[in-house]
Structure 1
Amino acid sequence: MKSKDLLYVYETIPYQQKNIYPSDLNTNTILQVDDAMKKYGFENKVKKLKTGHFAIDMKREDGSRIATLKNPIYPTNSQAGRKIAIDKYKTENFLSKAGLRTTKSKVYTSDEMDRARNEAYSSGAEGVVIKPLDMSLGKGVFVNVAEDDFDFYWKECTAVMAKTSRETYHIMVQEFMEGFEVRATIIEGNLISVVARVPAFVKGDGAKSIDVLIDEKNESRKECGYLSKHQIKKSDSVKTFLKNSGLTLDSIPEKDEYILLISVSNTSLGGEVIEITELVSKEIKELALNALAALPGMYCGGIDIMVRNFDDTEPGVIEINPFPVLSLTMFPTYGQPAKPADYFVNAFYTKDALINGYQSKADSDGVDKYVRNYMRYHDRQQRMYLNQFATNNQQ
């Protein structure tokens, strides 16, 4: 995202007021599903794993266990599809063979920095994306990296991976797509919402420095139970990003001037989330559904897409997250919150009831809706598989 994209988003959305959420907000995806199951009277057992994460045994009324939901596994997602989604390079391959627009990337080991830099800019690219091959939540991701800053961000990415248990660090250098990032959340084959993910930024008043504006924005974020958990940090990455824009923390932006502070659009780094499902084009929604359907046996996922505007007819997929954070859709900074956990439990139990011949707790209209959505999604999966089969036969 660039400043012009930021200006476009905030001038286009119809919302005037930020959403305010309570301080005791439940932001854990597993526990959000637990809340939904209790709401609709579905049997379950929550347990805490040795890893510290929660898991839910999803049960029928007779006490028999159907499946276990745990981070990072939705029980309806296949193991094969999930492994492909985690590997961003394999995901690109599957999407390309399905005829879907996505990025072009190369994968390197952490000791191949010089080779990666030389190849990345050999065709005249002004900026690229550097990211770990198989991490999520925006960790180690650096966007629109210029050649002069390549070594710095490569080492930053390596440092992030060094904090994990990996023996080998694989880094992906990806084509940079112009525009801004949106996240489409798909649950049980149904598009729940599309949100714009906005990186950390400040808006100038013509008098205060960026440093002071960050402090003021962090104070305002404390008023919201969701944003308060994610303050904007004056990190080296922020300082480097500002430097590349010809700015420092001491710079004073003009009145109403939007100043991006970092390239990664993640709420954990001080970003914001804007609900835009009803504002975006059919092509953006179709690409999201087709992208998830292109991975074998995948029903739930977060599809990250680059768009140039809300009406974009040629969007492109960046990556697919097989365990999307539901809070992005439940607690947008602007716009109507969605109910992904509600949809998941009702669709999941409707499907199990039909397969195993018992009465679903969903009302009759709800059952029809979930079944129709499943059938449409199965048709979509078949189309994507046929596209991939045809591509493989041509190679």
Structure 2
Amino acid sequence: MTQEQPTLTRSEQKQAELEEREGLKSRLLEEEALRRGHQTRRLTYDTAIITINSQDCLFKDMNGPLSSAANMEICDNKHVARSLLKANGLTVPASTYVRLTEKDKIEDFAQEIGFPVVIKPNNLARGEGVFTHIDSVDSLHTHLEKLSKLIKDETEKILIEKQFIGDDFRFFVVDGEVLATTKRARSNVTGDGIHTVLKLIEAKNKLRLENRDLKNFLIPTDPAKLGRLFRQGKTLDSVLDDGEYIEVRDESNIASGGDGIDFHETVHPTFKEIAVQAIQSVPGLHYGGVDVIAEDITVEPTEDNHVVTEVEFSPGPLSMFPWEGPPRDMAGPILDFYEKTLNS
């Protein structure tokens, strides 16, 4: 007799889904290690021991023994990381770090730097709690209330920054070399003159389900999450013209249903130098992701056409599963780095 599996509560189901999703980075590294003939031992969904040059190395996701807890803490603290970037001569958004309770200071700073502004938590990931295109004092206070409900602690500090209008790019850097450059395009659909926006989203989500990474990050159909669509005078029932392209969300990260588009061969080389410099701004950080917003990533960077927004300690495998362009490996270069370093 087959024993029935226990029914999971909703929270248990969400945790199981999270572990399955988060474990992808670790599994990709483990698969590459096994392909190279290294011994591996799985500990948890996101940790494994990989034996490299006779040394047992503990990895969490793709971060190994040379990725320190201090590195992670600095990268996760957007304000501190940004201060290091700025001190190293990189162009960053005008921003301030202030408690949620200090509404007057937040409002004064927004008016000082000029709208539109962005507010965001200091240490959450995947775009959670990031509110963009705030274009008035009333809108600012409305979104501060939303952020308060999310954080649930008004003594917490948040970032408020001048919004830079451009496209969002992620650079993947290992040991002083940029190995992938990917545009993080906002959630979008392209019309065919026949189907509604809703049907176009559903069709695109079917394709995303075939992608090992994107299957976990579908485009939502909840109208409350599609503000950009409605600001353009469209609804889920709108039928787009054949070839008409429209972005449906403001968020530009993959977790929000965005697309990864490869730009590695066309990015201006000076932007790659900036990405390497950003990683080196965090002492002891050997590899990671760098987020840049730029008007045009293919032209030479100036102080006015881009900003460096974040350094990512544990970037997702965006370049390995792009929506457009060739896949670019992340796990292999990280193992190359450890094989070289542990052999020296």
- TM-score where L is the length of structure 1: 0.74
Q: CA 1:237–1:100 in 2, change beyond 3 Å: closer, same or farther?
A: farther
Unmatched 5+ residue regions in structure 1?
1-23, 355-395
Q: CA 1:189–1:107 in 2, change beyond 3 Å: closer, same or farther?
A: same
Question: Percent identity among equivalent residues?
Answer: 25
- Report if aligned partners of 1:218, 1:232 keep a CA contact under 8 Å in 2: yes
Shift of the alpha carbon at 1:277? Answer: 0.5
Match of 2:98 in 1: 108
Match of 2:10 in 1: none
Match of 1:28 in 2: 24
Match of 1:194 in 2: 181
Q: CA 1:252–1:116 in 2, change beyond 3 Å: closer, same or farther?
A: farther
| Counterpart Cα distance in 2 of 1:79 and 1:338 | 27
| Counterpart Cα distance in 2 of 1:334 and 1:115 | 43
| Counterpart Cα distance in 1 of 2:106 and 2:223 | 23
Q: CA 1:26–1:104 in 2, change beyond 3 Å: closer, same or farther?
A: closer
- Report if aligned partners of 1:158, 1:169 keep a CA contact under 8 Å in 2: no
| Counterpart Cα distance in 1 of 2:212 and 2:99 | 40
Structure 1 counterpart of 2:42, from 29, 42, 46: 46
SS of the aligned residue for 2:241 comes to coil
Q: CA 1:161–1:340 in 2, change beyond 3 Å: closer, same or farther?
A: same
Task: State yes or no: 1:136 paired with 2:136.
Answer: no
- Report if aligned partners of 1:237, 1:262 keep a CA contact under 8 Å in 2: no
SS of the aligned residue for 2:342 comes to helix
Match of 1:345 in 2: 335
Q: CA 1:34–1:250 in 2, change beyond 3 Å: closer, same or farther?
A: same
- Post-superposition Cα deviations, 1:194-243, rounded to whole Å, max 9, x if no partner, equal 00101111223344433333233323433444433322113354343333
SS of the aligned residue for 2:343 comes to helix
| Counterpart Cα distance in 2 of 1:291 and 1:61 | 30
Q: Which residue identity does 2:37 align to in structure 1?
A: G
Structure 1 counterpart of 2:312, from 321, 330, 333: 321
| Counterpart Cα distance in 2 of 1:132 and 1:210 | 31
Task: State yes or no: 1:228 paired with 2:219.
Answer: no
| Counterpart Cα distance in 2 of 1:121 and 1:180 | 24
- Report if aligned partners of 2:193, 2:240 keep a CA contact under 8 Å in 1: yes
Structure 2 counterpart of 1:205, from 185, 192, 214: 192
Correspondences of 1:1-395 after superposition (within 5 Å): 28-48=24-44, 53-60=45-52, 62=54, 64-65=55-56, 67-71=57-61, 73-125=63-115, 127-147=116-136, 148-162=138-152, 168-314=155-301, 315-325=306-316, 327-354=317-344
| Counterpart Cα distance in 2 of 1:220 and 1:79 | 37
- Report if aligned partners of 2:26, 2:62 keep a CA contact under 8 Å in 1: no
Question: What is the number of equivalent residue pairs in this alignment?
Answer: 320
Q: Which residue identity does 2:46 align to in structure 1?
A: F
Unmatched 5+ residue regions in structure 2?
1-19
- Report if aligned partners of 1:74, 1:323 keep a CA contact under 8 Å in 2: no
Shift of the alpha carbon at 1:341? Answer: 0.6
Match of 1:375 in 2: none
| Counterpart Cα distance in 2 of 1:285 and 1:328 | 17
Following TM superposition, the consecutive aligned residue runs of length 4 or more in structure 1 with deviations greater than 6 angstroms are 24-27
Q: Which residue identity does 2:341 align to in structure 1?
A: K
Shift of the alpha carbon at 1:168? Answer: 4.4
| Counterpart Cα distance in 2 of 1:212 and 1:152 | 31
| Counterpart Cα distance in 1 of 2:149 and 2:211 | 32
Q: CA 1:94–1:40 in 2, change beyond 3 Å: closer, same or farther?
A: same
